[in-house]
Amino acid sequence: MPRKYELMRKETLTPGTTRIAVYAPACAKKAKAGQFVILRVDEEGERIPLTVSSCGEDGSVTVIFQAIGATTMCLEELEVGQCLSDFVGPLGKPTEVEGYEGKRVIVVGGGLGSAIALPVAKALKDAGAKVETVVGFRTKDIVILEDEMRAASDELYVCTDDGSYGFAGFTTVKLEELLKDGPECAMMFAIGPLAMMKFCCRVAAKYGVPATVSMNPIMIDGTGMCGCCRVTVGGKVMFACVDGPDFDGHQVDFDEAISRLTTYKDFEQKAKEAHICNLTGGVRNG
């Protein structure tokens, strides 16, 4: 039997993007689409939130991440059989998927946000919704989860900014095309970079379509204590990690959220520069 928080599987999806399955049976039994976990690689590491991609009957919880910061770079270095120090969840409120039976919904995922869009699309389809999924990437080489997305959707549209694969253009362009020419849409779910979600909501508003967005990109601590995930929704201050991460996209102050997201850029860059890959025999600092 695997040990607590042991890496059961590890897969490179694209260079820099990794999927791992962690043995956490208690979390696997309860986690639902839209929820996240908090993990630490080791006892000296920082706590980071990662959204649950899927759960297995073998007690595994799968998360997908990009090795772009000090902690995710450390996480990338772990191999199957090694264990995380901490793995807590599920946290946050699940995505609301009930009430859409027989109705058309559109799920939009941008970049790594596709890893979060996948369980949402699957949960909606399982609940009886007619799911159209739009995912966007800069180029063909970094497209992830296409087969899984196709299985979780009634229709899948892959977009690339440079036109190297699928629809040539941004997800917002494809979204408008679908809303303009298609039947009535009951809800638009957007999950990805803040700017992408902001403009997806503008398109949805243009056609009178309700919008739900996942504000996980602004989470840091994941418990509401740090206050960094504050987001103004309908004029009220909310916390993405405990009140969300899903909110009414038409009520979110995206400009404020985008501005706050840059607060820790310098700190994270310094931590990343201080990190030396353990595989080279160096020492990690931070």
Does the residue 20 lie in any domain? yes
The parent domain of residue 116 ranges over 104-214
Does the residue 264 lie in any domain? no
Does the residue 115 lie in any domain? yes
Q: How confident is the model at residue 279 (pLDDT cuts 50, 70, 90)?
A: very low
Does the residue 276 lie in any domain? no
pLDDT of residue 261: 65
CATH of the domain at 139: 3.40.50.80
Does the residue 271 lie in any domain? no
One domain, residues 126 and 210: yes
For residue 170, the cross-strand partners are none
SS3 per-residue string spanning the chain: CCCCCEEEEEEEEECCEEEEEEECHHHHHHCCCCCEEEEECCCCCCCEEEEEEEECCCCEEEEEEECCCHHHHHHHHCCCCCECCEEEEEECCCCCCCCCCCCEEEEEEEHHHHHHHHHHHHHHHHCCCEEEEEEEECCHHHCCCHHHHHHCCCEEEEEECCCCCCEECCHHHHHHHHHHHCCCCCEEEEECCHHHHHHHHHHHHHCCCCEEEECHHHCCCCCCCCCCCEEEECCEEEEHHHHCCEEECCCECHHHHHHHHCCCHHHHHHHHHHCCCHHHCCCCCC
Does the residue 24 lie in any domain? yes
One domain, residues 114 and 195: yes
One domain, residues 118 and 181: yes
Listed residue (235, 199, 197) closest to 217, CA to CA: 197
CATH of the domain at 59: 2.40.30.10
Total domains present in the chain:
2
Does the residue 284 lie in any domain? no
One domain, residues 40 and 125: no
Does the residue 152 lie in any domain? yes
pLDDT, one tens digit per residue, over 106-116 is 999 998 888 88
Q: Which of 66-80, 156-170, 261-275 has the lowest mean pLDDT?
A: 261-275
One domain, residues 111 and 58: no
One domain, residues 132 and 193: yes
pTM: 0.83
pLDDT, one tens digit per residue, over 191-225 is 988 899 999 999 999 999 999 998 875 555 555 56
One domain, residues 60 and 126: no
Q: Which of 61-70, 137-146, 174-183, 272-281 has the lowest mean pLDDT?
A: 272-281
- Phi and psi angles of residue 96, each rounded to the nearest 5 degrees, phi first: -75, 115
Q: Give yes or no for residue 243 having a pLDDT over 90.
A: no
Between the alpha carbon of residue 54 and those of residues 24, 119, 247, 277, the distances in Å are 12, 7, 21, 29
Q: Which of 11-15, 52-56, 115-119, 230-234 has the lowest mean pLDDT?
A: 230-234
One domain, residues 139 and 76: no
Q: What percent of the chain has pLDDT over 90?
A: 49
One domain, residues 75 and 143: no
